[in-house]
Amino acid sequence: MDTESLKSLGWLLVWGALFFVMMRYGCGAHMMGRHGKRKNHNSAADRETKDPVCGMSVNPEKAAAASVLNGNTYYFCSRSCRDKFEKAPGTYTTVPHDAH
Ligand SMILES: [Zn+2]
């Protein structure tokens, strides 16, 4: 029997087993990572409001401009959006008909 071919066959088995273990652990770690990331995402999105002019989501703490209309505060991504809103608020808000 040739000992050289036996040695290489042994190495092949060792590498095969190592590869198999790595595939299994890699897959499990990947799935656990995905679950952890989803939990962190929700808390930050809570404070976002929508710019009524362009529809962009705006964080009230970082909004470039704000306007108060009928007791509601509207936040805007830029001052030009606020200017458009203040010129014609009715276009961007749904005002009830009995508000005359
Ligand atoms: Zn905007």
pLDDT < 50: residue spans in the chain: 39-40, 42-44
pLDDT at 29: 58
Q: How many Å lie between the centroid of ligand 1 and the Cα of residue 25?
A: 46
pTM: 0.50
pLDDT at 73: 94
pLDDT at 61: 93
Q: How many Å lie between the centroid of ligand 1 and the Cα of residue 56?
A: 6
pLDDT at 23: 84
Q: Which of 22, 75, 71 is nearest to 48 (CA)?
A: 75
Q: How many Å lie between the centroid of ligand 1 and the Cα of residue 99?
A: 26
Q: How many Å lie between the centroid of ligand 1 and the Cα of residue 50?
A: 9
Q: Around Cβ 74, how many Cβ atoms within 10 Å?
A: 24
pLDDT at 46: 60
pLDDT at 86: 96
SS3 6: helix
